[in-house]
């Protein structure tokens, strides 16, 4: 089986360009980050030289982009892993920007996951359907098997085996996964028959309420669907799904478990909690336990935790970290190689690779420290966003970017 991931470009992704954007890194970082150290390092090297020569404004943009790229890599890692588990042999990444960055990851992905990964590069953005026409020859392998299509910016559980089973059982041409949300108007809304799963109507970003079940961005399509798609910029949600639904050939399966579109900043806040919650249900032995742990906490086996710390809830501590005695951590990610010194307190924040937080320091309110940032003893940071390789000697009293 084949799969195509709609990776797209920054045009769509930069839309909610806010400083809370790095948040999903917290949510899904710990496990994939460990698996993906090398990719992240490659990526950082790519960004380092332009960071040295650009203006402060560009620097900020680059920093955010860097985080966005890391997030994408992590997501694709999870998606590709799950696809491989159900027998997908080749994943095609549909991209329309800077392929050199993506390409440098392909080998890494291929080696680690043992799956063939290729790029299909657009010369102009082809939307969400055009890339399928562009990759047509790659997707059709003569077997007549359906293929997967995934949006790259959603995080969820991936019950692909159930999706295949359902698709084969109903005999329609396409199956999409759906999930319930509170604000359906920002998504593709599906009206379906609950019993059979048949979709009566697919409305992208409806202006009036039609229902609260929305397209989760995960599809299984028969090769015949490709015959409906022309090689031009076109939207699968506006031009393809409504037609297949009208012919009663579109089916939907409700996605069990959590789902998030990382294009929605407010969802990030709940991200780490959701992820760790699902880990608690599925593999609770991976979570830390002990009298110093509160709620769901993920600590890498190489991390060192001192005496008298209180950690949690919703904390991820990466490999090689040293958390000295008496430290308090809650709702935060501490990335690889970080040292948090005695009696420091970190909450609702991200501490980037190889940074240090001084004794008695207090880091809170969505503070984000880039790589190799050093916070002096007793410093307070209230929502500071600190770019890589900085030393912070005085407190940051209100949310601001420190370059
Ligand atoms: N290759 C390529 N080329 N990919 C693209 C392009 C393009 O021109 N445009 C968008 N994409 C990718 C995006 O990167 C993303 O992974 C996916 O296609 C969907 O595009 P978004 O721009 O993120 O769409 P959305 O979030 O507004 O809506 C989509 O996702 C919702 C779920 O998150 C739709 O599929 C909705 O129906 C759905 O509910
Ligand atoms: Mg999206």
Q: Does residue 125's CB lie within 6 angstroms of at least one atom of ligand 1?
A: yes
Residue 316, domain CATH: 2.160.10.10
Decide whether any atom of ligand 1 lies within 6 Å of the 151 Cβ: yes
Ligand 1 atom with the smallest distance to the CA of 131 is 1
- pLDDT tens track for 93-147: 888 765 555 566 667 678 777 889 888 989 888 999 999 999 999 999 888 999 9
Structure token pair of residue 398: 């209100």
Ligand 1 contact via 187 beta carbon (within 6 Å): yes
Domain final position from 198, 232, 261? 261
**Domain co-membership, 254 together with 299:** no
Both tokens assigned to 362 = 């207090």
Nearest CA to ligand 1 atom 35: 217
Which pLDDT belongs to residue 57?
Answer: 53
From the CB of 384, is ligand 1 less than 6 Å away? no
- Report the C-alpha gap between 56 and 241 in whole angstroms: 44
Give the pLDDT band (50/70/90) at residue 390: confident
Determine the distance separating the centroid of ligand 2 and the alpha carbon of 115, expressed in angstroms: 25
State the residue range of the domain holding 349. Answer: 272-402
pLDDT in tens, 216-274: 999 999 999 999 999 999 999 999 999 999 999 999 999 987 787 754 433 444 556 66
Tell me whether strands 259-261 and 154-156 are parallel, antiparallel or unpaired: antiparallel
Last residue of a domain, one of 261, 295, 322: 261
Sign for the CA dihedral angle at 62, 66, 72, 75 comes to negative
360, part of any domain: yes
Are 134 and 127 in contact by the 8 Å Cβ rule? The answer is no
The full DSSP string for 346-398 is: EEEEEE-TT-EE-TT-EEESS-EE-TT-EEPTT-EEES-EE-SS-EE-S-B-S
The residue whose CA has the least distance to atom 31 of ligand 1 is: 187
**Res. 159: pLDDT tops 90:** yes
CA 154–ligand 2 middle distance (angstroms): 7
**CA distance to 185, 317, 339, 349, per residue, from 323 (Å):** 44, 9, 6, 15
Reply yes or no on whether the pLDDT at 52 is more than 70.
no
**Cα–ligand 2 centroid distance for 171 (angstroms):** 28
Q: Examine residue 290 and state whether it is found in any structural domain, yes or no.
A: yes
Span from the CA of 139 to the centroid of ligand 2 (angstroms): 23
Tell whether 257 is covered by a domain.
Answer: yes
Residues 44 and 182 in one domain: yes
Q: Which tokens belong to 303?
A: 């991390």
Please report the pLDDT score of residue 41 as a whole number: 54
Q: What percent of the chain has pLDDT over 70?
A: 76
Question: Who surrounds ion ligand 2 at CB < 5 A?
Answer: 153, 261, 263
Mean pLDDT, residues 54-80: 60
Task: Name the DSSP letter for residue 325.
Answer: T
The residue among 212, 238, 261 that closes a domain is 261
Find out whether 325 and 308 touch, Cβ atoms under 8 Å: yes
Instruction: Spell out a b/e string for 105-130, using b for 16 or more CB atoms within 10 Å of the CB, else e.
Output: bbebbeeebebebeebbbeeebbbbb
Structure tokens at 309: 């710390």
Q: How far is the CA of 397 from the centre of ligand 2 (A)?
A: 34
| 380, part of any domain | yes
Whether residue 382 has pLDDT greater than 50: yes
- The candidate with the shortest Cα–Cα distance to 346, out of 354, 360, 336, is 360
Judge if ipTM > 0.90.
yes
More confident of the two residues 267 and 14: 267
Q: Ligand 1: does its nearest atom lie under 6 Å from the Cβ of 215? A: yes
- 267 found inside a domain: no
Region for 289 from its dihedrals, namely left if φ exceeds 0, alpha if ψ lies in -120 to 50, beta otherwise? beta
Which has more pLDDT, 389 or 358? Answer: 358
209 part of a folded domain: yes
> What global pTM score does this model have?
0.67
Q: Tokens for 24?
A: 């999903």
Ligand 1 pocket member 126 (CB < 6 A): yes
What DSSP designation does 89 have?
Answer: -
Same domain, 372 and 241: no
For residue 221, report the distance from its CA to the centre of ligand 2, in Å. 20
Q: Counting ligands in written order, which one lies closest to the CA of residue 190?
A: 1
Highest averaged pLDDT of the listed ranges 19-23, 57-61, 304-308: 304-308
Helix (H, G, I), strand (E, B) or coil at 25: helix
Residue 188: CB within 6 Å of ligand 1?
Answer: yes
Is residue 113 domain-resident?
yes
CA torsion sign for 262, 268, 270, 274 is positive
* pLDDT in the model for residue 262: 58
Q: What percent of the chain has pLDDT over 90?
A: 50
Question: Are the C-beta atoms of 256 and 157 separated by less than 8 Å?
Answer: yes
Span 312-335, pLDDT tens digits: 998 989 889 999 999 999 988 888
CB distance 217 to ligand 1 below 6 Å: yes
CA distance readout (Å), 177 to 85, 91, 370: 18, 19, 36
Q: pLDDT by residue (tens digit) across 190-226?
A: 999 999 999 999 999 999 999 999 999 999 999 999 9
Residue 266 lies in a domain: no
Pair (138, 52) in one structural domain: yes
Task: Kindly report the CATH number assigned to the domain that includes residue 72.
Answer: 3.90.550.10
Sorted by sequence, the CB contacts under 8 Å of residue 298 that are 6+ apart come out as 30, 31, 276, 279, 286, 287, 288, 315, 316, 317
- Tell me if 156 CB under 6 Å of ligand 1: no
7 Cα nearest atom in ligand 1: 14
Domain count within the chain: 2
**Which DSSP string corresponds to 211-249?**
-SEEEEEEEEE-GGGGGG--SSS--IIIIIHHHHHHTT-
Choice among 8-12, 160-164, 184-188, 280-284 with the minimum mean pLDDT: 8-12
How far is Cα 78 from Cα 31, in angstroms, rounded to an integer?
Answer: 10
Radius of gyration from C-alpha coordinates of the chain? 22
Q: Are 167 and 91 within one domain?
A: yes
DSSP letter at 123 equals: S
Atom 14 (ligand 1): residue with closest C-alpha? 8
Q: Which atom of ligand 1 is nearest to the CA of 150?
A: 16
């Amino acid at each position: 089986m084949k799969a195509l991931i709609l990776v797209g470009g920054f045009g769509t992704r930069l839309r909610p360009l806010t400083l809370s954007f790095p948040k999903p890194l917290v949510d899904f970082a710990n496990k994939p980050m460990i698996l993906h150290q090398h990719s992240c390092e490659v990526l950082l090297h790519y960004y380092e030289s332009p960071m040295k020569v650009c203006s402060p404004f560009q620097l900020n943009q680059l920093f955010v982009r860097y985080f966005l790229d890391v997030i994408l890599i992590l997501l694709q890692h999870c998606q590709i892993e799950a696809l491989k588990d159900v027998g997908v042999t080749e994943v095609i990444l549909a991209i329309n920007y800077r392929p050199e960055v993506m390409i440098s990851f392909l080998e890494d992905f291929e080696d680690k996951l043992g799956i063939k990964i290729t790029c299909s590069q657009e010369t102009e953005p082809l939307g969400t359907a055009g890339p399928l026409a562009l990759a047509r020859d790659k997707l059709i392998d003569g077997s007549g098997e359906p293929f997967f299509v995934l949006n790259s910016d959603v995080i969820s559980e991936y019950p692909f085996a159930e999706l295949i089973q359902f698709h084969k059982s109903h005999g329609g041409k396409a199956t999409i996964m759906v999930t319930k949300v509170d604000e359906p108007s920002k998504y593709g809304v599906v009206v379906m028959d609950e019993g059979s799963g048949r979709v009566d109507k697919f409305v992208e970003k409806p202006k009036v309420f039609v229902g609260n079940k929305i397209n989760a961005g995960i599809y299984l399509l028969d090769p015949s669907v490709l015959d409906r798609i022309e090689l031009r910029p076109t939207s699968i949600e506006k031009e393809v799904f409504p037609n297949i639904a009208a012919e009663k050939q579109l089916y939907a399966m409700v996605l069990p478990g959590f789902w998030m579109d990382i294009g929605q900043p407010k969802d990030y806040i709940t991200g780490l909690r959701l992820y760790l919650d699902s880990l608690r249900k599925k593999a609770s032995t991976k979570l830390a336990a002990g009298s110093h742990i509160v709620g769901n906490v993920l600590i890498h086996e190489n991390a060192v935790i001192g005496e008298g710390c209180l950690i949690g809830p919703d904390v991820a501590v990466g490999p090689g970290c040293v958390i000295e005695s008496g430290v308090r951590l809650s709702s935060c990610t501490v990335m690889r190689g970080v040292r948090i010194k005695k009696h420091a307190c970190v909450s609702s924040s991200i501490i980037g690779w190889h940074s240090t937080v001084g004794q008695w320091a207090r880091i809170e309110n969505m503070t984000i420290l880039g790589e190799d940032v050093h916070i002096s003893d007793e410093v307070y940071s209230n929502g500071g966003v600190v770019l890589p390789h900085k030393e912070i000697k005085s407190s940051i009293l209100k949310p601001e970017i420190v370059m």
